Amino acid sequence: MTRLLFFITLFFCFVNPLQADTASDFDAALEQLKQKNFALKSDAIKIIAVSGNPQARAVLDAMLNGGLFMRKKEKDLVFAQKQGSNYQLTAILTGEDLGQLKKRKMKKVGINNTLRSELRSALALLSLNNPDPNERLAAVNNMLGAIDTVSAATLRDSLENENDSSVQEVMRLGIALSDISSNDKKVRLQAISVLDGNLYPAAWNSLTHLMEKEQDQAIKDAARQALHSIDVKRQMSGIAETLFFGISLGSVLVLAAIGLAITFGVMGVINMAHGELIMLGAYTTYLVQVILPDSPGTALLLSIPLAFLVSGGVGVLIERGVIRHLYGRPLETLLATFGVSLILQQLVRVVISPQNVPVTNPEWMSGSIEINSVLSLTLNRLYIIAFCLLVFAALFFILKKTSLGLQVRAVAQNRAMARAMGVRSERVDALTFGLGSGIAGIAGVALSQLTNVGPNLGQSYTIDSFMVVVFGGVGNLWGTLVAGMTLGIANKIMEPWAGAVLAKILILVFIILFIQKRPRGLFPQKGRAAEG
């Protein structure tokens, strides 16, 4: 309601040429911004928005982004930009450099959610004539939430001068949203045809609203038809969305499990410290970011090879120091590596911190690609999916096309025969384990972008990884990929109606039943190794 009033006032102010004494209004409004009361600040924003002062935009913008401060001593408002531990100040009207000041000597002009959306709407109206079409698009999108006859009229005026087709489309939508409550049947019918199949939430809502009170049968039919086509589109988007969520969860599972597919799948070592190798990879990302605090993107790319080396190196140490002595004794290996996992966790707690550490997402990994109003794909997940496939392809290449891969497969299939052919099986064991561990480290880099990095990061992933590898069929890389994706998608299909907790339980029950039926997983390994 306040928003509606706001638009009305704004509109009248725009067309009212009597708005003369704006300069002093502007100053008075600035004065008012110093108050603690949010209602007073809200009034001030409205005055500033229509003042026509060249600095109006800058003031509102700074206020929205937390860059507007009051100096406690001088009691005046200034722009402030953080520089190191101090703030660089600029005068609002003159743009004069006012030097630097400590934060304690100033008070920020605080805003709340209501003010924030008012600021955005005010900035949107100021942006409707912006030369950049993207700015205009954002501005119109901002207006859609609270469309009424007045703002629709503004849009109608702007539409005539608009030449960008995507902005035009949103403007028409805005006008239709207002027209749908018109008294003229033709106008209503026209509005329905615009809203037909439009996925913007307000379109569906206003159509259902219309259905409830519409008397005219023809219009009712048209509205029903329009709603139906929106519903169909929504369902399609819903399916696509579930699939995307499933694939992205699946790719996380595959990433976590793929290292284990080598150490457990190919070598047969039950490595309970697998999750901690992932954790080490995540901590490597953190440390690289600490060294390069200003460029998180570069740090992230740099940490991929580094994490491979760190986790791979630790893996080789574990193999040489512990596992080597325990080949053929799975139970002891299990216990020993469990001990190693506890040691690694405690090491991180003592050396770095028992608390979670912050890992920042680079700019290009935040946000999402909007396919339509109800379907948007988050960028970080898209990158993880691509990254997962890349790692899988690289690993596949190593195992199938390089001589190391050949030796690994030879030792896995028949150790004695491979040794007879001159393969140094001990060295191959160490390298294979290092490779699997290194991949786990790379998975840690990816996970650091999705979840909390802390000493307990690895624990849950150890179990998940074993689940994926066993389900997919021990010793089969394709099996791991298919199993991870299947489990991810199944989980996401079940989650909406079963809840996150129950979905996980159901998946586990399913796997247990499946293993009863097919003990060797989805893709059982064939040949002599399988019998052995």
Partner 1 sequence: MLKSTIKRSMIAAGITASMLFTTAAAAEETIKVGILHSLSGTMAISETTLKDTMLMLIDEQNKKGGLLGKKLEAVVVDPASNWPLFAEKARELVQKEKVDAVFGCWTSVSRKSVLPVFEELNSLLFYPVQYEGEESSKNVFYTGAAPNQQAIPAVDYLMNDLGVKRWVLAGTDYVYPRTTNKILEAYLKAKGVAAEDIMINYTPFGHSDWQTIVADIKKFGAAGKKTAVVSTINGDANVPFYKELGNQGVSAEEIPVIAFSVGEEELSGIDTKPLVGHLAAWNYFMSVDAEVNDSFIEAWQAFTKDDKRVSNDPMEAHYIGFNMWVEAVKKAGTTEAGAVQDAIIGVTVPNLSGGFSAMMPNHHVTKPVLIGEIQDDGQFEIVWETSGLVAGDAWSDYLEGSKDIISDWRAPLSCGNYNVKTAKCSGQNME
- Footprint of partner 1 on residues 274-333 (CB under 8 A)? none
Q: Say whether residue 470 binds partner 1 (CB under 8 A).
A: no
Instruction: Name which of 203 and 408 has its Cβ closer to partner 1.
Output: 203
Q: Say whether residue 380 binds partner 1 (CB under 8 A).
A: yes
8 A C-beta contact, residue 37 and residue 110: no
CA-to-CA distance for 522 and 504, rounded, in angstroms? 19
321, burial (CB in 10 Å: exposed 0-12, middle 13-18, buried 19+): exposed
Q: Say whether residue 154 binds partner 1 (CB under 8 A).
A: no
Judged by CB under 8 A, the residue of 460, 463, 518, 530 near partner 1 is 460
Binding span for partner 1 by CB under 8 A among 111-119, 179-187, 224-232, 426-434:
111-119
**Who's near 332: CB < 8 A, 6+ residues apart?**
326
Q: Say whether residue 464 binds partner 1 (CB under 8 A).
A: no
Question: For residue 129, is it left (φ>0), alpha (ψ between -120 and 50) or beta?
Answer: alpha
Kindly give the residue spans of alpha helices, DSSP state H, lying in 180-328.
185-195, 201-213, 217-260, 274-291, 296-321
**Who's near 532: CB < 8 A, 6+ residues apart?**
none
Binding span for partner 1 by CB under 8 A among 17-25, 47-55, 125-133, 248-256:
248-256
**Who's near 401: CB < 8 A, 6+ residues apart?**
none
How many amino acids of this chain bind partner 1 (CB under 8 A)?
54
Q: Say whether residue 141 binds partner 1 (CB under 8 A).
A: no
CA-to-CA distance for 113 and 274, rounded, in angstroms? 44
Q: Say whether residue 41 binds partner 1 (CB under 8 A).
A: no
Q: Which of 476, 312, 482 is nearest to 409 (CA)?
A: 476
Binding span for partner 1 by CB under 8 A among 41-49, 257-265, 275-283, 355-363:
355-363
- Footprint of partner 1 on residues 162-201 (CB under 8 A)? 201
Strand-pairing partners, residue 82, are: 87
Q: Build a one-symbol-per-residue string for 55-94: x at contacts with partner 1 by CB under 8 A, - elsewhere.
A: -----------x----------------------------
Instruction: Name which of 255 and 428 has its Cβ closer to partner 1.
Output: 255
CA-to-CA distance for 123 and 63, rounded, in angstroms? 11
Judged by CB under 8 A, the residue of 75, 105, 116, 427 near partner 1 is 116
Q: Say whether residue 233 binds partner 1 (CB under 8 A).
A: no
Q: For residue 320, which amino acid is it?
A: R
Judged by CB under 8 A, the residue of 32, 149, 190, 456 near partner 1 is 456
8 A C-beta contact, residue 384 and residue 449: yes
List residues near partner 1 by CB under 8 A: 38, 66, 108, 110-114, 116-117, 120, 145, 201-202, 204-206, 209, 241-242, 245, 248-249, 252, 354-358, 360-361, 366-368, 370, 374, 376, 378-381, 450-452, 454, 456, 460, 492, 495-496, 499-501, 504
